[in-house]
Amino acid sequence: MPGTKLAPPLPWMPKMRSWRAFPIALLVLSMPLVAFAQRTPLRSSFDLRVPWTPQPVVVAGKTSLVYELHLTNYAQDALTLRRIDVVDDQQHPLLTLSGDALVAAIGRTDRAKGEERLNISPGNTAVAYLTVPRDDARAVHLEHRVFYATSSSHEASVGGGAVTSIAPAAAPLGPPLRGGPWVAIHDDTWERGHRRVLYAIGGAVKVPGRFAIDWIRVGERGGFAKGGGETPQQWLGYGADVLAVADATVASVGSGVTEPATLAEGAAHKVPLEDAAGNYVALDLGDGRFAFYEHLKPDSITVKAGQRVKRGEVIGKLGYTGESTGPHLHFHVSDANAPLDAEGLPYALSAFRVVGAYSSIKAFADGDAWTRAATPAAERGFPAPLSVVDFDDAH
């Protein structure tokens, strides 16, 4: 009412102007909190995958896990590999690759050379071919840490590709051939060697020849052919009996592939992928394991699908059919009844006698003499690269 005095505000009531200032005060107080709530920076880099579960293999008495780590760059710029570490579930280091060792371990489908292999452009994939030493064949959990640099020279790392190995209990296999000397042609460092040839036939990339060996007969003083070796018949191992490595069932037979009359003719002829194995026999060893014998001589296969065979039984003869640079027996074990659409599995031979070795693949190709072992040794397992063995005198 006019002339009526308002009661003074109670002590706990703020003045009106204080209420109007209260939201502003809240905003001011909250600003330092916003400044400190920074998110951890994120960076897109490699997708790390191990497509195949590794199994131990014993080569020249040493156990190791042989497998591949696939690295696909999902960043928007190129990434350069610096180092790869393999550790167990306790973070104990099992393998470290850097420098020249890293360059040697990396494969690229575009066949990049040297250190260029380490520079992975957006969308591209590199494959690290890993051989992890082990004290025994027990299963182990593996993890991978990849160190890399961005195009702006920022150093970073990413972990992934976790996998637990398995310890197979497959029985050792008998010899695929008789006598000797035979040289075991394989080396997982060769750019186009069996282990580094990948196939994507059925919608997934696989390495059927991961543990393949090309067996070539050599002379007591070296050399692998009589004369110049221009024809298959001049090669020392041509026509040799090929043997079943176990009591097994014939899973499949591939025949009908003709043989070039000369090696020059074979080199000039492009073999379609379906004929790459040439004439072949696959044995079902049981437990999901299949033994493959490839490049067999035309009309030499003595078995048919579904037939039971005994260990040591002749199933065909060594030849020169399919994708081959010369007469030899290609032998490997895989997880499917398919020459190319399968994963190569490790295996052990029950007995062989190491009588020597070649110093290099060039020495073999040049027909040089192989170096004799000071004391020939009976062994079992998987022969070392370029070792020269005899199967009949293995015990």
Residue-level pLDDT at 393: 66
pLDDT digits (tens, 9 = 90+) for 38-52: 788 888 999 999 999
The whole model's pTM is what?
A: 0.87
Q: Is the pLDDT score of 259 beyond 60?
A: yes
Q: Which residue has the higher pLDDT, 339 or 35?
A: 339
pLDDT digits (tens, 9 = 90+) for 301-357: 999 999 999 999 999 999 999 999 999 999 999 999 999 999 999 999 999 999 999
Q: Strand, coil or helix: what is 276?
A: coil
Q: Is the pLDDT score of 168 beyond 60?
A: yes
155 plus 273 within the same structural domain: no
- Whole domain around residue 363: which residue ranges? 182-390
159 plus 188 within the same structural domain: no
Residue-level pLDDT at 16: 44
8 A C-beta contact, residue 104 and residue 139 = no
258 plus 133 within the same structural domain: no
Residue 231: inside a domain, yes or no?
yes
Percent of the chain with pLDDT over 90: 80
Give the integer Cα–Cα distance in Å for 157 and 147.
4
Q: Is the pLDDT score of 388 beyond 60?
A: yes
Residue 27: inside a domain, yes or no?
no
- Average per-residue pLDDT in the chain? 90
CATH number of 317's domain: 2.70.70.10
The candidate with the shortest Cα–Cα distance to 339, out of 276, 250, 259, is 276
Query: Which of 131, 164, 197 is where one domain is finished?
Result: 164
Query: Which pLDDT band holds residue 37 (cuts at 50, 70, 90)?
Result: low
160 plus 189 within the same structural domain: no
Please give the average per-residue pLDDT across 288-313, as a whole number: 98
Query: Which pLDDT band holds residue 189 (cuts at 50, 70, 90)?
Result: confident
Query: What total number of domains does the chain contain?
Result: 2
Give the integer Cα–Cα distance in Å for 103 and 107.
8
The candidate with the shortest Cα–Cα distance to 235, out of 221, 215, 217, 260, is 217
Give the integer Cα–Cα distance in Å for 318 and 258.
14
242 plus 126 within the same structural domain: no
Query: Which of 164, 193, 217 is where one domain is finished?
Result: 164
Please give the average per-residue pLDDT across 14-40, as a whole number: 51
Give the integer Cα–Cα distance in Å for 175 and 350.
8
Residue-level pLDDT at 25: 46
Q: Is the pLDDT score of 133 beyond 70?
A: yes
CATH number of 135's domain: 2.60.40
Task: List Cβ neighbours of 44 (8 Å cut-off, separation of 6 or more).
Answer: 74, 75, 76
Give the integer Cα–Cα distance in Å for 387 and 379.
12
Peptide bond into 181 cis (omega under 30): yes
Q: Is the pLDDT score of 4 beyond 60?
A: no
125 plus 190 within the same structural domain: no
Please give the average per-residue pLDDT across 172-184, as a whole number: 97
Alpha carbon 58 to chain centroid distance?
16
pLDDT digits (tens, 9 = 90+) for 62-100: 999 999 999 999 999 999 999 999 999 999 999 999 999
The candidate with the shortest Cα–Cα distance to 51, out of 71, 35, 76, is 71
Among the residue ranges 7-11, 287-291, 339-343, the one predicted with the least confidence is 7-11
Residue-level pLDDT at 42: 86
281 plus 152 within the same structural domain: no
Q: Is the pLDDT score of 31 beyond 70?
A: no
Residue 51: inside a domain, yes or no?
yes
Residue-level pLDDT at 32: 52
Query: Which of 129, 164, 199 is where one domain is finished?
Result: 164
Residue 57: inside a domain, yes or no?
yes
58 plus 190 within the same structural domain: no
